[in-house]
Structure formats: C-alpha cells, structure tokens
Amino acid sequence: MAEDNSRPIKRLKLNDNAEWYASAILTDEYSKEIPRVTVYLSELDNKRQISNVMYQLSKMLPLEQMNLQHLKRVRQLDIILCKVGDLKDQNITQYLESVGLGNEVVDILCKNIREYDVPALPPMLRWQYELAQTCWPCKFHPDKYMESLHNGSIFNEKERKFHSNIMHLLLTIKNCMENDKPCGICIDPRTKSVVALASSRASISPVMHCPMMLVDFVARTQDGGAWREEVSDEFANDDEELYNDVKVNPIISGIPKRYLDFIRTDERFKDIRIGAELPRAKLKCDDIEQNATLNVDNLEKYGPYLCTGYDLYLSQEPCLMCAMGLVHSRARRVYFEKRSYNGALVTRFKLHAIKELNHHYEVFQCKKQGEDSNHVIYS
C-alpha cells in the first residue's frame, strides 16, 4: 500500500467515538468512610425513662460539647452518654456525677452500660449517610453540588462529548507529535476554546514540565511568558499571526505554530475552537458587558489573570511543583488522564484538599469505560 506522504502526522488508531468520562477526585471527607469513635451507651428499661434522662443529659452533657451534634441521641432504648475518651481517671458513674447529673438519673443510666462505635464526623454525601445510618441514626444536610460531583451528573451529555473531543486531541498530539511526552491543553470553558497547548520541555530545563509550559503559554496570551527565548522555535513568528478562519477569539499566541496548523487542518478536529480572550484593556465596552453576564470566578471583573476561570487537561497527574503552579495561576479545574508516581492530586496526596491554600481547583481524572485508571506511570 502506498504511503501517504502528504500528511506528515501519522494517524493514531484511536476509536473516534470513544467516550471519556471525568471522575471527580474528591477530598477525603467526601471520598472516605466516616471514622468511628467509641461512646458509652446506656440501655434503658423502658421508654418512659427517656424524657427524664434526656432533659438532664442535654443540659449537662450536650452532644455539641462532644462534637457529636450530627448524631441523634437516642436509638430505641439506647442512649448516648459520652465519648469513652472523655473520661480521665474516673469510672463512668463518677464521671456522670461530676458533670452534675442527679443521683436518680445516674442510677438509671448506669444500670446497663456498654461501649459502642458511632460515626465521629457528620456525613457529607448520601452514601456516607446511608452507611452511617446502619450504625447509628444521623442528621444529614444534602449538598446537591457535591453529590453531582460525586455521581458524575455534574456533566451533561454535551460536556461529556467535549471532554472526549479534548482528550482525543490531547492524546493524538501526545502520541503522534510528541513521542509520548506529557502534554496539556488549556481551555476557556465559557467559549469552549483552546487557549494554550503545550508539552513537556524537561529536556531544556528540569522545571519545564508540561503544566509549567502550559501556564507559560497561557501567559503569552496576556502579553507575558517567561520562556519566550527558550521556545522561540515553536512560535514561528512571535508577532501575532492572525488567521481569517479563527472561530472564536483572536489571541492564538498560546498555541505553538505546528499544533495550530494541525488543529486547523485535521478533519477530526475541525470543530475545535481556538483562541483566548483579548486582554481586557483592548476590549470595547459592549464586549465587556457581554462577557460580564457569564459569571466565572472574577474573570469578568479583571479579565484573564493567567488561568483564572480556565480548565486544564493534562495527559498525566501533575507533580507537586506543577500542582502548586496551577494553584498560583488560579486554574478552575484540572483534568488529567494517567496517574503519576509522584502525582500530587491523588497518588501521593491531594493538594486541593489543603484548606490553608488561598485557591482551590477542582480535580478530575479522565477515564475510559473498562480501562484500568489506577495504573501509575513513571516519567
């Protein structure tokens, strides 16, 4: 069979209709079972005793004081007294007396006591609630948004299709143009447009990992970019080269020339939009008004600042340096395909779970039905 030399980029044998789905990497309070804590339970003789002992218990030993306010106090004839760990050198009778319960109530409560494990923290998601309920009755305030992240319903069909298209483009570039090096794409989710596209340049400098390159290329669309000299060969003409057929936004300076040419000429990616928003100062007044209606972070107020409001798609989980770089650059969401041995979003730890950081992005792993997504890559 004659080889087709007209197209220098070899075809990737990928199923074009392959469906990707994005699975949220939630912080441990949402993704793990609720830990248990041991309490003393008292089993009463009959229900008539409940109101009497409850009155004194809720006054002298309120659940709030033990950080157990997410629990109901009573289950049938069982009643929670206190955490086992709250007793120092006392026995339970001495302890109940010491908090001020009347002798008669202490006698009733101490008749039949046993230790029992209850959920130590409030359930955050319905699955945790249902599991906790099998152990002890809990209070639960459902959070619709977090539930949708957990069960995947956050994305509609159109958005899932978009993830698939971007993942397809990302892997095609990685496999066919970059010899399997880590690659990444930055998307403006408001316009569904490619802002920047980069691959690892760790061969030039050990800090030029793919996500760092991607942030640098995003900065180029805002008249920045720290590595202009190092990557000058990737951008044939550093002045803005305008294409007549750019579908959305005129700023294409975040996309190296050969990727740009590839996206614009390959039939499979003809629907993919390219270009970033103009820096705010260059926008006309009506453009600003139009953009202001889209409520994304504080983007409409200040214009893009690095990755503010942007989503990043990476072929692999970022390392700690890069994950932190994405915090500093204010990414909105990070999607990655493969786990990395030194990954900082799920494999080693979850950087986005650190509450003390001043910015948090949402993290998703892009998976394909039936494929092993826990496999870790060492590069």
- Give residues in contact with Zn ion (CB under 5 A): 209, 319, 321-322
Nearer to Zn ion, 123 or 211 (CB): 211
Nearer to Zn ion, 209 or 220 (CB): 209
User: How many Å apart are CA 347 and CA 284, to the nearest integer?
Assistant: 45
Nearer to Zn ion, 296 or 321 (CB): 321
Strand partners, 26: none
State the nearest-atom distance from the C-beta of 322 to Zn ion, in Å.
Answer: 3
Instruction: Please give the structure tokens belonging to residue 53.
Output: 């002992």
Nearer to Zn ion, 149 or 345 (CB): 345
State the nearest-atom distance from the C-beta of 204 to Zn ion, in Å.
Answer: 14
State the nearest-atom distance from the C-beta of 201 to Zn ion, in Å.
Answer: 12
Q: Determine how many CB atoms are found less than 10 A away from the CB of residue 44.
A: 19
State the nearest-atom distance from the C-beta of 321 to Zn ion, in Å.
Answer: 5
State the nearest-atom distance from the C-beta of 342 to Zn ion, in Å.
Answer: 8
The percent of the chain in helix, strand and coil, each rounded to the nearest 5, is 35, 20, 50
The label of the residue with tokens 């750019």 reads 246
Nearer to Zn ion, 138 or 322 (CB): 322
State the nearest-atom distance from the C-beta of 148 to Zn ion, in Å.
Answer: 30
Q: Are 214 and 184 in contact (CB under 8 A)?
A: yes
Nearer to Zn ion, 151 or 379 (CB): 379
User: How many Å apart are CA 98 and CA 78, to the nearest integer?
Assistant: 22
Q: Are 64 and 80 in contact (CB under 8 A)?
A: no
State the nearest-atom distance from the C-beta of 188 to Zn ion, in Å.
Answer: 23
User: How many Å apart are CA 182 and CA 341, to the nearest integer?
Assistant: 14
Q: Determine how many CB atoms are found less than 10 A away from the CB of residue 131.
A: 15
Nearer to Zn ion, 145 or 378 (CB): 378
Instruction: Please give the structure tokens belonging to residue 321.
Output: 């340096």
181 backbone dihedrals φ, ψ, rounded to 5°: -70, 155
